[in-house]
Amino acid sequence: MENSNIKAKYAWYCDEDIEYDEYSKFENISDLIHYKLPPNYSRNIKYNFGDLVSFSDYRDTGTYIIGKEGKLIANPDYSDSGYLTIPYEITQYLDNAVEKYSDCEPMFIDLRYDDKFIMNNINTKSCNVSKKWKFCWCDNADLYVDFPNGKKHCFDFNKNSAYTIKKWYEGSQKEQTKLKLYYEIKDGKFDEFNKKYKNDIPNIPKTWSYQQGSGGGGHKHRYNNLTYNGPTENKEKVINIIKKFYNGFTYTLTEA
């Protein structure tokens, strides 16, 4: 296990004279050290496991993470927009990956099931996560979980625990129902809705989930399409919750 208490840093920043066709061939930090660097660029590159090397000044499109024995691991960029992702190839050797990279502003970090973030924020005294689940932390308070049955789901880690994640997983293995909701609020109803609720989403069972679809609006106007899905055994309960929530407002609820 590597030392998670040593915070990761950018050990070397980009130089415009090193093109992609060249740095993409680097497999180890030693390849950079022995590269014919431009004048005034130091070869004395000090680094620790997990530090970063940046070959691009646009976000982290050309960033590499330094792995075991100096191996350079390319940023896998789960965002597809040039943001930093720390892959499991690195974090499998860390027990506190979120803290280690807290100064580097990554968007995604793959986590071990026993990472301190999971232990301190997701596990409870009565329920722990499974070793078979795969976790990915996201900087917008999301925790992505891949389950053994091929199901994937995103959980708000400020509002969920190992227990609720387990209940969702168990529910995902049961017969499923999908509901489609369209709602529109405008003019006086817009003010009424915002005064009544803090958000657009009713409190549905943890075994159910929803996905945002197309939506929009303007001044005192909002519309949205949402898809709810979850175990059929809770269908009527969810329908009643949604109907009660949007009662008095314009909405359409159908079973997909």
DSSP string over the chain: ---TTS---EEE---TTS-HHHHTT--BHHHHHTS-PPTT--S-----TT-EEE--SSTTTTEEEE-GGGBEEE---TTSSS--EE-HHHHTT-S-HHHHTTTT--SEEEE-TT-HHHHHHT--SS----TT-EEEEETTSEEEEE-TTS-EEEEETTT--HHHHHHHHHHHTS-EEEEEEEEEEETHHHHHHHHH-SSS-----TT-EEEEEEEEEETTEEEEEEEEEEEGGGHHHHHHHHHHHHTTSEEEEEE-
pLDDT at 38: 67
* pLDDT tens column, 69-86: 999 999 999 999 999 999
* pLDDT tens column, 197-213: 988 889 999 999 999 99
* pLDDT tens column, 205-247: 999 999 999 999 999 999 999 999 999 999 999 999 999 999 9
* pLDDT tens column, 181-198: 999 999 999 999 999 998
pLDDT at 10: 96
Percentage of the chain lying above the pLDDT 90 cut: 88
Domains by residue range for the chain, with CATH: 176-255 (3.30.70)
**Alpha carbon of residue 148 to chain centroid:** 19
Q: Which position has the higher pLDDT, 106 or 39? A: 106
Q: Which position has the higher pLDDT, 143 or 40? A: 143
| pLDDT for residue 41 is more than 80 | no
Instruction: Using pLDDT thresholds of 50, 70 and 90, give the confidence band for residue 39.
Output: low
* pLDDT tens column, 111-135: 999 999 999 999 999 999 999 999 9
Instruction: Using pLDDT thresholds of 50, 70 and 90, give the confidence band for residue 11.
Output: very high
